[in-house]
Amino acid sequence: MNKVFKQVLGWFIAAIFFFPIYFWITVSIKKDKDIFALPPKLFDFEVSFAAYEEVFGISRFLYVEDMGAVRPGGGDFYMMPNLVDSIIIALGSTGIAMLISILAAYSLSRLPIRGQQHFMGWILSTRMMPPVAVAIPMFFIYKNIGLMDTHLGIIIIHALMNLPLAVLLMKSFFDDIPKDIDEAALLDGATRFFVFWRLVVPLAIGGIAATAVLCFIFSWTEFIFVLMLTQTGLKTIPVVSTSFVTSTGTAWDNMAALGTAAIIPAFIFILLVQRHLVRGLTLGSVKQ
Amino acid sequence: MAAQKSYSLPSFMNSDSSLPWLLPLITMLIVFAIIPFFYNIYLSFHEFVPAKRALLFVGWDNWIRLFTDGVFWGSLKVSLYYTFMCLLIQLVLGMGIALLIDSDDPGFGIIRSILTLTLVIPPAIAGMIFLIMEDANYGLIPWLLKSVGLIGPEDTILADPTLALWGVMIVDIWQWTPFMVLILVAGLRSLPSEPFESAVIDGARPFQVFRRLTLPMLHKVIAVAILIRGIDLWRMVDYVFVLTSGGPGTATYTLSLYSWQRFTFVQWGYGATISLFSLIVILIVGNAFIHFAKVKW
């Protein structure tokens, strides 16, 4: 009986946490009259994919074609370019962060370093910086060196933002691999880089994948850097989703369609690396 | 040995010196963490003067203004209240849920998977989800609160000076309580079972077991969870930006939001001063916490 009660309570809690997500998805496929209905229509509403068509340009494409033009999209709520921006930035920043962090984490795990504790403390302190405190000076630096409002600028700042996580997490994955492997290979005459690249990295591939997924997600969801360091050149999904709130009202169904499209891939990614999730969330300090 | 030779190309990386391995990281940290820090200090002694259309040296003016600015003190209070209350609620709720679902039964694995989902939602979009659910006219939450009589028929959440901050905090609690749950469950799962079994044999009550065994043994995991969550709560800006933009009035200004808002009003020096203050506070508190809670990486 106690066990059954625990199961029921557990599922009830899961339902409470899942409810806002479910509600958001239904908003994206509801018509206006059902979105604003009270009591809310949770199951018995009219399904419509018009919002998705508008956000991803399908209906707009046809409309523009009727007018004699061949250009797809162009409507107020056409979001494909922003989706592409988000993907470019998340992939680029993840690539840079992983490259730098794998090298650094290997040496932090294996090689003697003077003042290692202080260095780790410095990395952790970087993780504490409020984004606004970085973004204000970067705004002026970027203006001067021409990175303002560019993909490269956001890629670099997102890579920086993810570096503390990636370095500390990768160090914990490398620490899990016995150092005997390195030493045996070095004794046999292998070079340090060979040991790193051919022996240790392949053994840590699961950890590398998990770290990359987390970097991707944190770049994908980041808000304030993109808000402050871009003007018109690009907008990622979290920032552009605020543009649905207009003076004439809020386009809830379009906003929810974009939001749903942005969170579903993240759900799939995170479930794939769930085994390493807690370690990732705690920067490598709590192992599952 | 042919294969090995082709991998010995970057010969500078074959020594046992750690410098070449760390150089890219150190460069990035200097360019994008140290330089902004000192640039912030520089900015905090300058201000944009519209009449001259230039950033001019103003001495300690920004810092004097900071400590005499009522809105700044208000936003500091909001940041402290927000951080402390959310941390407390998420820790207590998280511990309760973690104790409940710390089990090998198959159903609980699925429950844990469902709980991970909130963590990957962009906070700005999580704010949007609650923006419609807390809408004054057709929002689900005000409607529910009204029907059980907790708020009056004309009351709103996000436009009410006392309720607005809780309207923001509920989003944080929804999105990040699972963070605490997952970390604490991982901690609970890694505990050895013998002490608990002998405690039960000795006739200890569940609360005693929790107080005397579980909590002390989870000390490190709890400390890490508090540290990371505390940092993120202190620098949170997405939710207030989306839900209230600091309103009504200045009731939900956090330090980060106020700093951003001054920045957009071309008070660059003052905005930088506020953000620098917030940065110094978290650096001191965060590192003191790491030291006293003996958190190790």
Over residues B83-100, the mean pLDDT reads 96
Q: What is the pLDDT of residue A59?
A: 52
**Residue pLDDT, tens place only, A220-277:** 999 999 999 998 878 899 998 888 877 677 888 889 999 999 999 899 999 988 889 9
A127 touches chain B (CB under 8 A): yes
Tell which residue, B253, B220, B219, has the closest CA to residue B237: B253
What is the distance between the alpha carbons of residues A222 and B243, in angstroms, rounded to a whole number?
A: 17
Most distant CA atoms of chain B, gap in Å: 81
Q: Tell me how far apart the alpha carbons of residues B44 and B271 are, in angstroms, rounded to a whole number.
A: 8
- CA distance to A64, B192, B195, B206, B212, per residue, from B209 (Å): 69, 13, 9, 5, 5
- The pLDDT-based confidence of A279 (bands split at 50, 70, 90) is very high
* A120-130 mean pLDDT: 91
Sequence letter at residue B46: H
In a domain? residue B192: yes
pLDDT, position A73: 47
Tell me the domains of chain A and their CATH numbers.
2-48 (no CATH), 80-281 (1.10.3720.10)
Is there a domain that residue B42 lies in? no
Domain count, chain B: 1
Taking contacts as CB-CB distances below 8 angstroms, the residues of chain A near B231 are 127-128
pLDDT at A100: 96
Q: In this model, does residue B237 exceed pLDDT 60?
A: yes
Query: Does B128 sit within 8 Å of A255, measured CB to CB?
Result: yes
Residues A67, A71, A77, A78, CA torsion sign = positive
In sign, the C-alpha dihedral spanning A157, A160, A165, A171 is: positive
What are the strands, taking DSSP E only, across chain B?
A: 46-49, 54-57
Which contacts (CB < 8 Å, 24+ apart) does range A265-269 have?
A: A266/A217, A266/A220, A266/A221, A266/B120, A266/B121, A267/B117, A267/B120, A269/A213, A269/A216, A269/A217, A269/B120
Contact A280, A273 (CB under 8 A): yes
Give B203: exposed, middle or buried? Use CB within 10 Å, 0-12, 13-18, 19+. Answer: exposed
- pLDDT of A49 > 90? The answer is no
ipTM value: 0.89
Three-state DSSP at A222 gives coil
- Residue B213's beta-bridge partner residues? none
Write out the two tokens for A212.
Answer: 């990359």
Q: What average pLDDT score do residues B167-186 get? A: 95
C-alpha B5, offset from chain centre: 48
Q: What percent of chain B has pLDDT over 90?
A: 60
Has residue B85 been placed in a domain?
Answer: yes
- Domain residues for the domain of B134 are 69-292
Is pLDDT at B149 greater than 90 in this prediction? no
Comparing A245 with A27, the larger pLDDT belongs to: A27
Task: Mark yes or no for CB contact B120/A131 under 8 Å.
Answer: no
Please report whether residue B30 resides in a domain: no
Predicted confidence at residue B2, as pLDDT, reads 43
- B225 to chain A: nearest residue by CA? A282
B contact test, residue of A281, A283, A287 with most B CBs within 10 A:
A281
**CATH code of the domain containing B232:** 1.10.3720.10
pLDDT at residue number B13: 64
CB A270 within 8 Å of CB A217? yes
More confidently predicted of A16 and A70: A16
Given a contact cutoff of 8 angstroms between Cβ atoms, the answer to whether A200 and A106 are in contact is yes
Whole-number percent of chain A with pLDDT over 70:
93
At B197-229, the pLDDT tens digits run 888 888 888 888 888 888 999 999 999 999 999
Do the domain assignments include residue B174? Answer: yes
pLDDT of residue A249: 74
Please give the pLDDT value at position B240: 94
- Each residue's pLDDT tens digit, A179-197: 998 889 988 888 888 889 9
